[in-house]
Structure 1
């Protein structure tokens, strides 16, 4: 396999890293971005961004820094605001001179393989066509809103009810003096519910189909939870039962308050193998609103609407009761749609559907390490995974690994290794709920990629006791994977960031 030219589709956080690492490997690269600037979902000024005004990250700033680019400014808080993340990626783009490799305001209509010539055909929305040896698809997951099956009918039959997806939410202004039903119990649902509940003239309730495990982003002392959990000592040295007890200690108080307020317990209990979870960012504030009755939990909405005796619209619930609903905000996630860019043959070759015994099904991508096409090592997807760690840093590692394969610096995986990885992915799907189809374990996933690059941060205690202890007890950050092997940086340059 000889790769000289690469097309990168989408220049958000994953796309920027992909372009940067293509340049590092000496590959010719062109990035395609439909917007006029980088940043992807963090660029609120674009029509496609789901970022609301108050949005800030659920990953701490220490874990969000890419491996060779620390924050060039001090963030206003440990969990940076969306504008600060956009500022960071703009600075990253400028620092590495990536702007000249991107075709801005150029969306991609179709990417497909011309097998007779062994090249990829990239057609833009302007009608231009170019050919490349390889493609890195970095469009991400948060673009095609998924609505409940009844949402469109409800909006058409009852125009007096404001029905929207969370992607369209920006701030509480349009919901003043209204009763709002939030459908779903994920991260955005908790964020939006809290923000709305802080206005006395807005009535807020959350309608959910089932319970979930609440994972606060801070512990009781105010320390970032991700920095507590993303440590090698916790993930590798603690026995599994001790690790679960530690996690239970971190989150039990918040979950008890949610159960007391009416949120059902997950079907398999707290942190069961099929238990969904949601990040809670402002734990004290949210718990206060629960205790004050400013946020309520109600059963699953059926989508049927009735007009009450007061002439106001109400939404019918699964238990037969109703709840006042002037507006319905659907925090119900996104549908993974590769076929909007990727050709039909390519999409079909990697698209699968996982069927859970609970009756749900969800599409998943049959990709080696959720990144490389199993039969074609010239098609890579970066930024399509979910993790309890920072997903942007995973995208950077994917780009490092993919470009090393394309540049011939490391061998492509064997067919046996690929099939073993895919079998493990399918096994995982059978053990977990379908919404986790793209889930990876943060540290083990990074370690597996790093092993191929010779960059696993394994240190002998006697050769460098200080570094050994840092690797064991400090939060795992991308800079850890630049100490050894391919792409290693001078030790002193990294030491302050470890």
Structure 2
């Protein structure tokens, strides 16, 4: 009798310990018999951009772009990890401090911290091109660059190297600001603009701009959040947008906005869904300002979520204007609609980010296609796997109609199970290329031609597809086998007509979670499960411990 040799463990590097990186570590640990995982985190804390960090002389360019008042734009029920639900008594739309606390709790519950090397800067990730197609990860201790750094601190740190079988890039794409180009932006130009100019990445709170006249450029979520907050702080705000977008309220008909995006609505023809949603928006919000009327239907550009913006516009504290035509001289700003403001104290550019991974050869992300970097074009299968580099994956490299966390988690579940050979193999290079081309064609026909739309995904469609490949999509047959006919009917009805919570992907399949059914009904408002242990808040001692972590 031949005894099979034990399978050698795969060594996996996770770059970044934000929301996506934590999911990657956790999913690797779910296959700990076959995977050893090491995560590299530049900062001294986990949570990535969800951790509020001041812009200071000691840290002039923090990775985090969260400002003090940031509130999530997706409901807690649809942004939670699938086997660790956000407590039922938390706010529907938690602030960033709550999200950071939730990530701390997640890391503590699954014992993730001991697998993270904090204060470690990765400087290069390079494919070795050996028989196993392994990767070299080079790194050193992280020291932020400061204006008054000493000579000792400026010395080159010692670089170390380790070899890995697989790399999961979880460092995010909201860290390298994208700036527009307008005549007069250069303050050294005698005819240029002399007021303050900064990207929203560096904005933290409104107090500095009290009683000022400001221009906010853009109409994404950051732009409207800043416009509203600044206007509430006695600033006069001019909201300048080149490409108007639909602005949606957080609640419609008494329900969170994203709870209306059910599998029933996904089954509708797009044009019918668009007509219904646009009617609902118009019934829920004041009339759209002339300078903000979208040229295209809803779901043909990324929606912006803010309930207060229309109210601030009706008070005149936020004035919508067209795109900037010219800056300067002095503090003068001229707009394309003819509006001229002679004294603008500050301009905020809420114009998005460049997709950039400086530790990688750019051709890995773009497949070497000309112009891809400048236009935020990526060449990855399902926004994860570069066809020519199957032992590398990107997690969180997408712009979702929905929340980031559950999509990143689903990516990690799929990638790790594929890595250890417990689910279907990845498609061939040729098949991946065909899939990528087809997706790009679809994106170009459905959405505006804008950098933010190049990596657009729909939460339900994307996760359902991956869950089917993974074997965790709760089909009627699987639900009957596990829960019986009556409960299967109830669950399938909730899945089709109710909000598509991530918990549904833990009802059946690999790494199903025992609390998924109770938590699903608790989130659905079923009184019988309102007090389920799976949706309880922290114990007081646990909460105090995590609050201490947050303050460190």
Give TM-score scaled by structure 2 length: 0.81
Structure 1's unaligned 5+ residue stretches are 308-312, 356-360
1:334/1:448 CA distance change after superposition, 3 Å: same
SS at match of 1:270: coil
Aligned with residue 367 of structure 1, among 343, 368, 380: 380
8 Å contact kept, 2:504–2:520 = no
Unaligned runs of 5+ in 2: 1-6, 55-61, 142-158, 525-552
Q: Which residue in 1 is equivalent to 2:179? A: 147
With over 3 angstroms needed to count, the CA separation of the structure-2 counterparts of 1:247 and 1:3, relative to structure 1, is: farther
Q: 1:212 Cα deviation (Å)?
A: 1.5
- Equivalent positions of 1:380-419 (< 5 A) are 380-415=393-428, 417-419=431-433
Deviation at 1:137, TM superposition (A): 0.1
Tell me the distance in 1 between the aligned counterparts of 2:325 and 2:312.
26
User: Could you report, residue by residue, the CA deviation over 1:215-255 in whole angstroms, capped at 9, with x for unpaired residues?
Assistant: 22221x442110111x111212x344442232123212467
Q: Does 1:466 align with 2:490?
A: yes
Task: Return the alpha-carbon distance in structure 2 between the equivalents of residues 347 and 441 of structure 1.
Answer: 21
Aligned counterparts of 1:152 and 1:315: Cα–Cα separation in 2: 9
**Two-structure CA RMSD over aligned residues (Å):** 2.4
Helix, strand or coil: the match of 1:288?
helix
Q: Secondary structure at the match of 2:86?
A: coil
Query: Which residue pairs with 1:358 in the alignment?
Result: none
Shift of 1:345: 4.8
Q: CA offset at residue 389 of structure 1?
A: 1.3
Asked whether the equivalents of residues 125 and 359 of structure 2 are also in contact (C-alpha less than 8 Å), the reply is: yes
Checking the alignment, whether the CA contact within 8 Å between 2:183 and 2:327 is kept in structure 1 is no
Give the CA deviation at 1:151: 8.6
Shift in CA distance, 335/446, structure 1 to aligned 2, threshold 3 Å: same
CA contact (8 A) 1:6 1:134 kept: yes
- Does residue 198 (structure 1) correspond to residue 232 (structure 2)? The answer is yes
Matched residue, 2:273:
243
Question: What's the secondary structure of 2:99's corresponding residue?
Answer: helix
Please identify, of 172-181 and 455-464, the stretch whose mean Cα deviation from structure 2 is larger.
455-464
Residue equivalent to 1:280: 305
Distance 1:470-1:352 versus aligned 2 partners, 3 A rule: farther
Give the 3 Å change call, closer, same or farther, for CA 266–245 of structure 1 in structure 2: closer
Q: Counterpart of 1:122?
A: 137
Measure how far apart 1:209 and its partner are. 1.2
How many angstroms does 1:351 deviate by? 5.8
2:334 paired residue number: 316
Residue 58 of structure 2 corresponds to residue 35 of structure 1: no
Deviations 1:42-95 (A, max 9, x none): 1112622111111100011111110110125732x2100000000000000000
Q: Partner of 1:342 in structure 2?
A: 360
1:437 to 454, 475, 480: 454
Residue 76 of structure 2: aligned partner: 61
How far does the alpha carbon of each residue in 1:381-416 deviate from its partner, in whole angstroms, 9 at most, with x for none?
A: 001111111111100000000001111111322225
- Partner residue, 1:329: 348
- Give the TM-score, by structure 1 length: 0.89
Question: Residue 420 of structure 1: SS of its match in structure 2?
Answer: helix
In structure 2, the CA distance between the partners of 1:44 and 1:197, relative to structure 1 (3 Å rule), is same
Paired residue total: 475
SS in 1 for 2:260: helix
CA change 1:183–1:345 in 2 (3 A) is: closer
| Aligned partner of residue 108 in structure 1, secondary structure | strand
Whole-Å Cα distance in 1 between the matches of residues 256 and 347 of structure 2? Answer: 32
How many Å apart are 1:160 and its aligned residue? Answer: 4.1
Q: Following the alignment from structure 1 to structure 2, what is the Cα–Cα distance between the partners of residues 156 and 483?
A: 61
Which residue matches 2:548? Answer: none
Change beyond 3 A, Cα 1:265–1:145? same
**Deviation sequence 1:162-208 (CA, Å, 0-9, x none):** 100001111111112211011111111111111111133x1111111
- Specify whether residues 254 and 300 from structure 1 end up closer, same or farther in structure 2 by C-alpha distance, changes over 3 A only: farther
